[in-house]
Structures are given as structure tokens and as C-alpha cells.
Amino acid sequence: MKHSIYQQLHLPYLEAALPQLLQEASTQQWTYETLLQRALATEVEGREQKAIARRLKAARLPSTKTLEGFDFSFQPSLSERRLRELADLSFVRTCTNIVFLGPPGTGKTHLSLALANRALTAGHSVLFTTLSELSHALSTASHPGLVRSRLRRYITPSVLVIDEVGYTTLSQEQARYFFELVTARYEHGSIILTSNTSFAGWGTLLGDEVLATALLDRLLHHAEVIAVNGRSYRMKERQTDRASVSAPSEAALSATSVVPTGVR
Ligand code: ADP
Ligand code: MG
């Protein structure tokens, strides 16, 4: 089968856009140079979009969140400026970690996802996981080779998001793997980590104070720790829902809203 010149040169996006480009060139009276530039730019653009889509799929982000979609006025403890600075992604280049600390519903996962999204759009590889998923993957590997290959999966990406540190305590083996991972990424790649547990509680979380100290030492050596100490946005949404239905009194609201719907 004979391939077109575009197929031989692997220019699928240019080939697909060509009829429209030629049409526009003639109606707009483009110069040859403009046509050539637009044609090549179309191919470059198509390839970039494909690469972003590939990185997005590999990143396994549970949902798409953006900084633009974050209501900073709801969380006054957070500096919008600081987050905008982080969004310039210099933390990825300097292998700096970001730790979001705070109670449930305050937007820690949202902000992590927003930064992760920025990073992969800018060309960095990203992987999202939770501490329990990660620990499970490593502790259920049936032989050392599989442990190593699974560890590598978490070591390789430029940005690794470890969500929900603190909701589950780790076995001795899992704590050691977590330590190994943080050590392997130390000064090699960024970790964005979220936790509802202050660092003082990590000894209990890992079941080993000495290991927790050594892990925190590496994690925090080059890190931005961001405390998010506001109200839960999930509660706000529930309250707003209720208010729009029947406008209940303050007392009714607090009576119905203090019970969390369960940690995610
Ligand atoms: P956390 O990880 O701290 O428990 P999440 O980031 O999962 O909280 O936030 C819970 C939900 O509320 C998500 O759907 C998130 O997008 C939304 N949310 C949280 N804070 C804000 C905010 N300040 N502005 C807009 N949406 C928010
Ligand atoms: Mg969360």
C-alpha cells in the first residue's frame, strides 16, 4: 500500500488539516512562507495536545481541578499569591515538595490536583495516588522484583501526588516502603502530599518514631508546607443546598452539619 508523503514523514495532523489550510491560504492570500509556517505549526500543536492527553491519562488524576476554580475568599488562611507562585512550577524544577496540612474538606486535594494539572500541561510527568493505594500496591507485591518495579512507577514521574496521608496507619513493612520512596525521590523529584495529621502524629501513623523523623527530615528539607485551617467546603455546599431549599435557621444548620459525611 502506498503511503502519502505526510504519512511517510509522520505528519498526521498536518495531513488532516491540509484541505482547510489550503482553502484559507487562498481566501486570505497567504504568502508561501505563512502557509508553510501554519502547516508546520498545526503539526506541532497536534503533537503537543496528544502528549498532554497521554500524560493526563498516565497521571490518573481522579478529577480535573484548577486554581481558577478555587474560591480563595472561602479559605482566608490560604495565600492566593503563594499558590499562584507555586503554579509557576519552579518547585518541579527544584525538586521541592509541597505539603498541604489541614482538616477534611478544606481543599487540599483540589489544590494538589490543580498544581498537578499545571505540571502536566507544561510537559512534566505526573502520577496521583493515595497513601493507602500506594502502600497496598507495594505490600502486596509477591516478590522483590515486583516491589522494585512498583516502586519505580512511583519514583519516575517528575511530580508524585500522595493524597490522604493520615487516614490509615501503616504496617511496619508499608512504613518502610513509604520511607524508601521518599528517600528515593529526595532531590530527584517533587512530592505533593496532603495530610490531616500534623507532623507530630506521624510517628503513630508509621508506627515508628525514628523512621518518621528520618522520613520527615527528607520530605521537609526542600519543602513548602501550607497549612489550610479553614472550614470544610463540603459542609458549605451542604449548607447552601439546604438553605436554598428551605432556608433553615442557624441552629438547624449547625445541628445537621456537624456530622461529617465520612472522610474521603
Ligand atoms: P480535602 O482534600 O482537604 O479533604 P477537597 O479538596 O477534596 O478537600 O475539597 C472537597 C470538595 O470541595 C472538592 O470538590 C473541592 O473541589 C471543593 N472545594 C474545597 N475547597 C474549595 C474552595 N475554596 N473553592 C472551591 N471548591 C472547593
Ligand atoms: Mg482530600
Q: 151: which 3 cell numbers?
A: 516502586
What is the average pLDDT score of the chain? Answer: 90
pTM: 0.86
- Which of 106, 108, 110 to mutate to test ligand 1, by most ligand atoms within 8 A of the CB atom? 110
The protein residues having their C-beta less than 5 angstroms from ligand 2 (an ion) are 109
| Among the listed residues 146, 142, 113, the one whose alpha carbon sits nearest the alpha carbon of residue 130 | 113
Which of 198, 229, 230, 234 is CA-nearest to residue 216?
Answer: 198
Query: CATH for 72-234, among 3.40.1280.10, 3.40.50.300, 1.10.1060.10, 3.30.499.10?
Result: 3.40.50.300
Separation of CA 93 from chain center: 16
Over the stretch 74-87, which tens digit does the pLDDT of each residue have?
A: 999 899 999 999 99
Q: Are 231 and 106 in contact (CB under 8 A)?
A: yes
Look at residues 101, 110, 122, 109 and name the one whose alpha carbon lies nearest to residue 224: 101
- Output the CA 132–ligand 1 centroid distance in Å: 20
The answer to whether residues 141 and 128 touch, using CB atoms and an 8 Å cutoff, is no
The confidence band for 241, taking pLDDT boundaries of 50, 70 and 90, is low
At 234, is the pLDDT very low, low, confident or very high (cuts 50, 70, 90)? Answer: confident
CB-defined site of ligand 1, < 6 Å: 65, 70-71, 74-75, 104-110, 194, 233-234
User: Which atom of ligand 1 is the closest one to the Cα of 228?
Assistant: 3
Give me the residue spans of the domains in the chain: 5-24+34-59, 72-234
Over residues 117-169, the pLDDT tens digits come to: 999 999 999 999 999 999 999 999 999 999 999 999 999 999 999 999 999 99
Distance from C-alpha of 56 to C-alpha of 120, rounded to nearest angstrom: 7
